Amino acid sequence: MKAAFAAGSSVEVREVEAPRPGPGDVLVRMASCGICGSDVEKVYGSYGQPSTRLGHEPAGVVEEAGPGAAGGLERGDRVFTHHHVPCYSCHYCRNGSETMCPRYYSSNLSPCGLAERYLVPAWNVERGGVLRLPDGMGFGEAAMIEPLACCVRAWNKAARRAVGSVAVYGAGPAGVMHAMLARRRGAERAFCLDVNGFRLRFAEKAAGWDGLEAVRADDPGRLDRMAAGTGGRGVDLAVVATSNMRALDDAMRAVRKGGTVLVFGVPPRGHEMRFRVAEAYSREVTLESSYAASDADTAAALGMVAGGEVDVGCLITHRYRLDDSAEAFERARSGEGAMKVVVGSGE
């Protein structure tokens, strides 16, 4: 069977041996898998991720369930699968930090999500890492569940109080989903910032919200516009959904007194942030970060998509076959005329 891997600064599709499910495992035939920014980073970036495994947003059809597989999964079941699942019993899990669990990283799909077939280990299956899809949900939408789940987790961490105004730095798929969640959470005003004109226009249309204003991130008057739109206070929450860390510096200035800055995008390895600590202290600015998602966040995201609360399907602009993964990654990297790029069989 075929699978895609990072190979230097490119993507290589090669033949590999098809995995066979053991006791408790589940074999899934991949139908759609989204390309995440972290996948792009593995291929082209400077973050220094050691893994060549690509694809952690897959959905497909159960082809075979190993003996004793949990959940009563059967051949033909349409499913979304989470690549990492925590143990739920360690100190981190008991204190709400499931994505910091040591076992969270040790479990994964084999050989990867960007493969014709992939194996879900018994560990994941036993702990709710395989979710059946409702009949009306397409595989493209299902491939958006994991990135939405990451956004859901971030909001649960950073928006414990009411949020009336939000600045979202980065108008990519994750940034637009943050804007969608802001509206769902009752925000009255949102500013979406980027230097990519296509993505700014897309964000305005996709959000479907008069309260969202697209702003050029290089506009010298951007901070004044956000201040004017919030009664001179600044935004309650600034979400940094980009790897460009200049946005983090900007967010610290855009947020109001007592507000929160959320680090969501993958920062470059080795980046050091400089800011006036005394000013952050005197203004009571909270700096929060959120990494990945647990399967509980994934289940919540699936419910939102199934219930029509968040229209993630509108974010998919390009679909590619697995054989064309290298082209798909080039499209995802460029961001020109593209939002979410999905690879798969197109079922």
Helix (H, G, I), strand (E, B) or coil at 246: helix
Residue 49 confidence (pLDDT): 55
- Supply the pLDDT for residue 273: 79
| Report field, pTM of the whole predicted structure over 0.85 | yes
Q: Of 103, 37, 75, 121, whose CA–CA distance to 329 is shortest?
A: 37
pLDDT less than 70: residues of the chain: 46-50, 346-347
Q: How far apart are the first and last CA of the chain?
A: 18
pLDDT at 271: 79
Q: Where in the chain is the domain with CATH 3.40.50.720?
A: 158-289
pLDDT given at position 347: 55
- Biggest alpha carbon distance in the chain? 62
Strand 10-15 to 58-65 pairing? unpaired
**Among 206, 182, 185, 202, CA closest to 194:** 202
- With 0-12 CB in 10 A as exposed, 13-18 as middle and 19+ as buried, what is 271? exposed
3 state DSSP class of 303: helix
Look up residue 274 and give its two tokens. 């400089």
Asked whether the beta carbons of 28 and 81 are under 8 A apart, the reply is: yes
> What confidence score (pLDDT) does residue 64 get?
98
Give residue 46's pLDDT.
63
Architecture of domain 2-144+312-344: Alpha-Beta Complex (3.90)
DSSP state of 319: E
Residue 346: the pLDDT is 54
- State pLDDT tens for residues 112-140: 999 999 999 999 999 999 999 999 999 99
Return the bridge partners of 168, or none.
Answer: 192, 239
- Superfamily grouping for domain 158-289: NAD(P)-binding Rossmann-like Domain (3.40.50.720)
* Residue range(s) occupied by CATH 3.90.180.10 in the chain: 2-144+312-344
The pLDDT value recorded for residue 248 is: 94
pLDDT at 52: 76
- How many angstroms separate the CA atoms of 213 and 244, rounded? 20
pLDDT for 158 equals: 92
